[in-house]
Amino acid sequence: YRKTIVSARDVLRKNDRGGYTVPTDGLYPFQWNWDASFTALGWSTWKPERAWAELHMLFKGQWDDGMIPSIVFHQYDDRYFPGPDTWQSPKVDPPTTGITQPPVVASCARYILQVSQHGDEDVHLRGLRNAYTLFHPILRYHRWFYKARDHKKMGRVSIHHPWESGMDNSPSWDEALEHVSTDNLPNYQRKDLMHVDADERPTQTQYDRFMSLVFSFRDVNYDYAQCAQVSQFQVADTCVNALLLKANKDLAWICAKLISHHKRLSLSLEELEALKSAQRELRELIDLSSRGMDSLWNDELGMYSCYDERMDKLINVPTSSAFLALYARHPDRVRARQLADKLAHWLDQVKYGVPSYDPESPMFDSVRYWRGPVWLVVNWMIAEGLEAYEFFELAERVRRDSRALIKEAGSYEYFDPMTGEGCGGNCFSWTSAIQLFWFP
């Protein structure tokens, strides 16, 4: 097993571009928001300073309004489309996209700090200092979601683009995407198909809609208030909402640690007061997002699902995002049991869990990105949630499958749940990172 640890570290070293890590060479040659956060977990297992550096680099891309964009273009690379010259976002140094991704940075910072508590005194103190530097910028990021995306002020934030979910071609978006017009779409050339088989990527129809949305945001210079008016796609995603709730809880955890170590950190009285006030604010955000999550419970499916804000209805599509509510420690015992039973049933239909989409659905596609395949970062979060609710056997099954996939297929972007075959990009940072963090 030592050998696979060494090769997982090699993947991160190979994808290191000096302070930030690309998800994989070629297909994704920049720093991605949620990839970077998960990748930091991997670095933290043997180079804690490098882990914090990854997060600081990500925050170089933070916008004045608080948003952390989905991609930070630290160095130019023409192997990817759409690059900075297509986005033309107002953030220039470094340039970024004009949309966000699931907010997992607070949670990853929490786990990195938590692990550092059990090590060297010095590593822990440096961890606290790093966490303090990141604390207020992360809080500003969380506030941005409620300011820019909680359109109905009910604690349910929406995404304006499928890319913001990180689950680009999830079947949850199919119906909502039909309302996105491609009438004024200029000519463009996608580049992802130069790196990966077309069967494993979003279709051309989907891609046209992705680009139409980008151009509509560019037309209003990515102003968040105007984007809320013009976006033809507004969906409250179960994944983003569950992860934002968890992120608020984890930021509150960090806040409590910083307060209790304020002397070691030599914080001024003013700085301490600011933390205490942030602690109160975070409690309110947790309550708000908990109410938002409640509104995503779908009785018909017996699980959480996404909500189409424009059509004002729940989206009846069962995806693995629902199980992330467990990771957020949100459901009561009854709903948690319902989710666990559903997951157990899904696992009975596949060789390796967790499929990203209900394997009994006629549209299930075991190799097409988020329409069936297994993703290791999602598995880790689901297993973590299952353990928190003491579903130990089920958590163990997810863990066992995840370990087997890495061992048998390698560090792929995602995996076929029916055969265990690796798909998408290879030497993939977040897969190796989760391996290092989860199976030390």
Query: Cβ closer to ligand DGY: 70 or 212?
Result: 70
In the complex, the smallest distance separating the C-beta of residue 168 from ligand DGY, rounded to whole angstroms, is: 5
Cβ partners under 8 Å of residue 38, min gap 6: 104, 108, 377, 430, 433, 434
3-state secondary structure at position 6: helix
Per CB under 6 A, which of residues 326..365 are in contact with ligand DGY? none
**Does residue 358 have an active-site annotation?**
no
Helix (H) or strand (E) holding 31: strand 31-32
Q: How far is the CB of 57 from ligand DGY (least distance, A)?
A: 17
The answer to whether the CB of 96 falls within 8 A of the CB of 217 is no
At its nearest, how many Å lie between ligand DGY and the CB of residue 312? 27
Nearer to ligand DGY, 32 or 297 (CB): 32
- Could you say which of 16, 168, 174, 208 contacts ligand DGY (CB under 6 A)? 168
Residue ranges in 390-429 that form contacts with ligand DGY under rule CB under 6 A: none
With H, G, I as helix, E, B as strand and everything else as coil, classify residue 246.
helix
141/163 with CB nearer ligand DGY = 163
Q: Burial of 263 by CB count in 10 Å (0-12 exposed, 13-18 middle, 19+ buried)?
A: exposed
Residues 256-285 that bind ligand DGY (CB under 6 A): none
- Distance, CA of 370 to CA of 374 (rounded, Å): 8
Is-catalytic flag, 273? Answer: no
* Residue-wise DSSP of 142-195: HHHHHHHH-TTSSS---BSSGGGGT-TT-GGGHHHHTT---TTPPP----GGGT
Q: Which of 67, 126, 119, 128 is nearest to 254 (CA)?
A: 128
- Closest CB to ligand DGY among 210 and 307? 210
Which string of DSSP letters, residue by residue, matches 322-356? GGHHHHTT-S-HHHHHHHHHHHHHHHHT-SSS--S
Min dist CB 214 to ligand DGY, Å, is 10
Q: Shortest gap between Cβ of 210 and ligand DGY (angstroms)?
A: 8
Distance of CA 158 to the CA centre of its chain: 14
Residue located via tokens 């009785």: 299
Residue with smaller CB distance to ligand DGY, 37 or 248 = 37
Chain centre to alpha carbon of residue 440? 22
Cβ-based neighbours of 86, under 8 Å, separated by 6 or more: 188, 214
**Number of residues counted as binding ligand DGY (CB under 6 A):** 4
**Which residues ranging from 189 to 228 are in contact with ligand DGY (CB under 6 A)?**
192
User: By CB under 6 A, is residue 174 in contact with ligand DGY?
Assistant: no
Nearer to ligand DGY, 163 or 438 (CB): 163
Any idea what DSSP says for residue 426? S
Cβ burial, residue 169 (10 Å; 0-12/13-18/19+): buried
Residues near 63 by beta carbon (within 8 Å), at least 6 away in sequence: 69, 90, 91, 96
User: Token pair 């600011």 is at which residue?
Assistant: 274
Catalytic residue among 25, 35, 192, 413: 413
Minimum CB separation of residue 167 from ligand DGY in Å reads: 9
Q: C-beta of 202: minimal distance to ligand DGY in Å?
A: 7
- Residue pair 141/105 in contact (Cβ under 8 Å)? The answer is yes
Strands (E), 35-85: 71-72
370 is a contact residue toward ligand DGY (CB under 6 A): no
Nearer CB in complex with ligand DGY: 24/402: 24
Nearer to ligand DGY, 386 or 427 (CB): 427
Least distance from ligand DGY to the Cβ atom of residue 142, Å? 21
Among 63, 135, 163, 307, binds ligand DGY (CB under 6 A): 163
- Residue 159, beta-bridge partner list: 235
Residue nearest to ligand DGY (CB): 163
Question: Which of 168, 223, 365, 421 is the catalytic position?
Answer: 168
Contact status: 70 vs ligand DGY (CB under 6 A): yes
Contacting positions for ligand DGY (CB under 6 A): 70, 163, 168, 192
Q: Which residues are catalytic?
A: 168, 413
